[in-house]
Structure formats: structure tokens, C-alpha cells
Amino acid sequence: MNETTETSRSDFRYKRVLLKISGEALMGDTGFGIDMATCDRFARGIAASVKAGAEICLVIGGGNIFRGLAGAAQGMERAQADHMGMLATVMNALAMQSALEAIGVPTRVQSAIPMHTVCEPFIRRKAIRHMEKGRIVIFAAGTGNPYFTTDTGAALRAAEMGCDAMLKGTQVDGVYSADPKKEPDADRYDELTYQDVLARDLRVMDASAVSLLRDSNIPIVVFNLHEEGSLHNVLTGQGVCTVISNT
């Protein structure tokens, strides 16, 4: 994503959105942890859209640092492992906050697990007010409960914030019938229904997240996060993506 020209607020197809980024996306070309050059690149694209008038909140996964399911698979108690994964998302949120504020974008991190010396606790009305004032809000620590993924946490926050859409940034330009990197002949979808995703087990995100977004009538927009200008293009309805909705 890169900086783009200023856009009229009326040009946005989706004005208030939640952007879900996987923790693995922050690794860049490294094999583990946080690549700040990658964070900086994402931050510039997000900042350009906010400057143009979009209201954006973020949820970032923690898989680049620790994944609760992997810890549980190695014999760790599941709830304990999931709490470690939530703390990893806080680390990623702070890294992205640093990247955004380095280029002059006011940002707040709100955690579902209270840690007052590090960030704000999650308060829905306060988060909405931050967004109305042009601040980016990064929601960390998932739902604050074990056994729920960051996808579900993102869906919940998107509903609570009254978002027009939930954007899922990936490494491909939409949803495919199979992994296009493994199966070059896989079919790409421009549009799907929530039921299509669940019935075909397309693995866009976990079923509880898809169900929550369906019930809240919030479209899921899957796009390539790594293409320059992709976020702005999707927000204005011009980008290549897959839109998942009730119709």
C-alpha cells in the first residue's frame, strides 16, 4: 500500500471499516517477529486513506510471535496458550502504533485485557469517538477470552464499531476455490454469500466470525494487502477483491 491523492468523502464505498491484518504479514521477508519496514509500508497506506476521510480501526493477529493453537498442540494448556497469543497481538499493535505515529497519524491501542501502563482498555464509545476525531484505533488481545480467534475478535469489533465493512488483507487478490499458489487453476470469486463460504468451507476466516458478520450484515472484503494503493482502491470500490455479503 502507498500514499494516494486526497479523495472526497462521498467517493468512499466503505467509509468506516475494520482492517484485519494477520500477524504473519508483519514478518515481511523474515521468518519470525516484526519487520518494521513492512509495518512502515502498511502504515503509509493506512495513513493516506485516513487523510482522505476514511475511518479505520485495525485488528492484527499474533501468529508471527505466538499462536495459541500451536502451543496447545505441544502440550500447553489451551487457555494459557491462547492468553499468550493475545499478548502477542498487543506487541504487534504497539509496533503498528509506533509506525503510524512516526508519520504523524494519531493512534490509540485498546486491549481487551486491561494493561493500563501500556494502552487503553477497550471502551466501545471511546473507540468510536477516537475514530470520529480521525484517530486510528488498534484493537488488541482479541476478545479477551480463550478459544476465540482474532478473526472472531475482529468481527466482534467491526459490529461494535458500526463498520460498513470488514476488510481482510491477504497475500492474494480475493477468495479462491483452492490455494492459488499450490493450484494455479483455482477459480477466483468476485462475489460470494456468507452461506457459500460456510458451505464450501473456503477458509476465509473461522465460521464463528463469518456467522457474526452475516448476522450483523457487514460485508467481508478480501483483497491483496501487499499491492500498492490496494486499501484506498478497495475503499473507493475500484480495487480487485472478493466481496462476501448476504446477497
Q: Which pTM does this prediction carry?
A: 0.92
pLDDT given for residue 31 in this prediction: 83
For residue 115, what is its C-alpha cell?
A: 494493561
By three-state DSSP, how is residue 27 classified? Answer: helix
Lookup: cell for 145: 477470552
For helices 150-160 and 207-216, angle between their N-to-C axes, nearest 10 degrees: 10
Partners of 223 in beta bridges: 169, 241
Element (H, E) at 132: helix 124-132
Q: What is the pLDDT of residue 140?
A: 98
**Distance between CA atoms of residues 65 and 34, nearest Å:** 8
Q: What is the mean pLDDT of the chain?
A: 93
pLDDT over 70, % of the chain: 96
Q: In whole angstroms, what is the distance from residue 236 CA to residue 73 CA?
A: 42
pLDDT, tens only, 38-74: 999 999 999 999 999 999 999 999 999 998 778 778 8
Using DSSP's 3-state secondary structure scheme, residue 155 falls into helix
Please state whether beta strands 165-170 and 16-21 pair in parallel, antiparallel, or not at all (unpaired): parallel
Query: What pLDDT was estimated at residue 69?
Result: 79
Predicted pLDDT at 9: 53
> Rounded to whole angstroms, what are the CA distances from 119 to 36, 67, 115?
20, 22, 6
What angle, rounded to 10 degrees, do the helices at 78-102 and 36-51 form?
Answer: 60
User: How many CB atoms are located within 10 Å of the residue 132 CB?
Assistant: 10
Please check whether the domain covering 9-245 is classified as CATH 3.40.1160.10.
yes
Q: Report the alpha-carbon distance of residue 246 to residue 103 in Å, rounded.
A: 38
Please give the pLDDT value at position 232. 95
Q: Spell out, as residue ranges, where the chain has pLDDT lower than 50.
A: 2-5
Q: Is the dihedral of CA 195, 200, 202, 208 positive or negative?
A: positive
d(CA 118, CA 86): 14
Looking at residue 2, what is its pLDDT? 46
Strands 120-121 and 241-245, how do they pair? unpaired
**Cell reading at 205:** 476466516
